[in-house]
Amino acid sequence: MICRALAWTMATALLGSTAALAQDVPGIEICTVEKTMERRTSCLQSNVDFLKKSLDKARLEQQQKLDAANRQIEALKTALAAMQKSVEQLQAPPKKPEPAAPAQAAPKDAAKDAPPAKTDAK
């Protein structure tokens, strides 16, 4: 008896799940099969609605991709400008320090030009 109840439950569960699979799936349908004008019109309207939804979804996805690409381009431009600035700084000739050597050379030159020191040796 339990086996029969279990078999009955399994059979109804399997049949119930196939009924769920037979539901109408949104998509393009062949409307020429329909005989009455009302059903044909309904079928065509269903196709139009499906296509509009598909186009709107695709348009939104593409706009999001474009926005992301534009943000990435702006970030890359900023990074490129920073890199170009650092390359210019590296390629620039080093700044020469203020010449401190002539100031030190002046006392040496002064010593050469000065008359020799007189010694009082008589």
pLDDT tens, residue by residue, 99-108: 665 555 555 5
C-alpha to C-alpha distance for 76 and 92, rounded to whole angstroms: 24
**Residue 24 vs residues 21, 28, 29, 36, 70: alpha-carbon distances, Å:** 9, 11, 10, 19, 40
> pLDDT tens digits for 24-66?
667 888 888 888 999 999 999 999 999 999 999 999 999 999 9
* pLDDT attached to residue 37: 93
- What would the pLDDT profile of 5-27 be if each residue is shown by its tens digit? 555 565 555 555 544 444 566 78
Structure token digits, residue 21: 């699979």
What would you report as the CA-atom Rg of the chain, rounded to the nearest whole angstrom?
46
Integer Cα distance of 102 and 109 in angstroms: 10
pLDDT of 110 above 90: no
pLDDT tier, 98 (very low <50, low <70, confident <90, very high otherwise): confident
* Helices assigned H by DSSP within 22-121: 37-91, 101-113
Answer left, alpha or beta for residue 49, where phi above 0 means left and psi between -120 and 50 means alpha. Answer: alpha
pTM of the model: 0.47
Residue that the structure tokens 């020191």 belong to: 117
Q: What is the pLDDT of residue 42?
A: 92
Residue 7: the pLDDT is: 57
